[in-house]
């Protein structure tokens, strides 16, 4: 799976990566993925799967998906 951790969400990756590829051996829900990545759900404001905005935390993801996660976007 192609995964993009936008903004401060990269901080939660142990290597602090913004763009990474992970291998999913089986399908997984968004919530379960976030738990595996140790990213608190409350810090994720925007989820995009294959360029579609997702609002359902139970959406099922597979290895071929491109997932982008973003925190709330403040000013700057």
Q: Which of 46, 59, 65, 66 binds another protein (CB under 8 A)?
A: 46
Residues 3-42 that bind another protein (CB under 8 A): 4, 6-12, 16, 18-19, 40-42
Cα distance between residue 15 and residue 48, in whole Å? 22
Pick 58 or 76: Cβ nearer another protein: 76
For residue 20, the SS3 value is strand
Tokens of 76: 């700057």
Return d(Cα 62, Cα 21) in angstroms, integer. 12
Q: Which residues contact another protein (rule: CB under 8 A)? A: 4, 6-12, 16, 18-19, 40-43, 45-46, 48, 53, 68, 70-76
């Amino acid at each position: 799976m192609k995964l993009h951790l936008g903004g401060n969400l990269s901080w939660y990756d142990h290597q602090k990566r913004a763009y990474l590829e992970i291998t999913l051996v089986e399908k997984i829900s968004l919530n379960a993925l976030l738990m595996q990545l140790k990213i608190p759900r409350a810090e994720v404001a925007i989820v995009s799967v294959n360029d579609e905005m997702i609002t359902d935390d139970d959406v099922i993801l597979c290895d071929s998906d491109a997932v982008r996660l973003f925190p709330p976007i403040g000013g700057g």
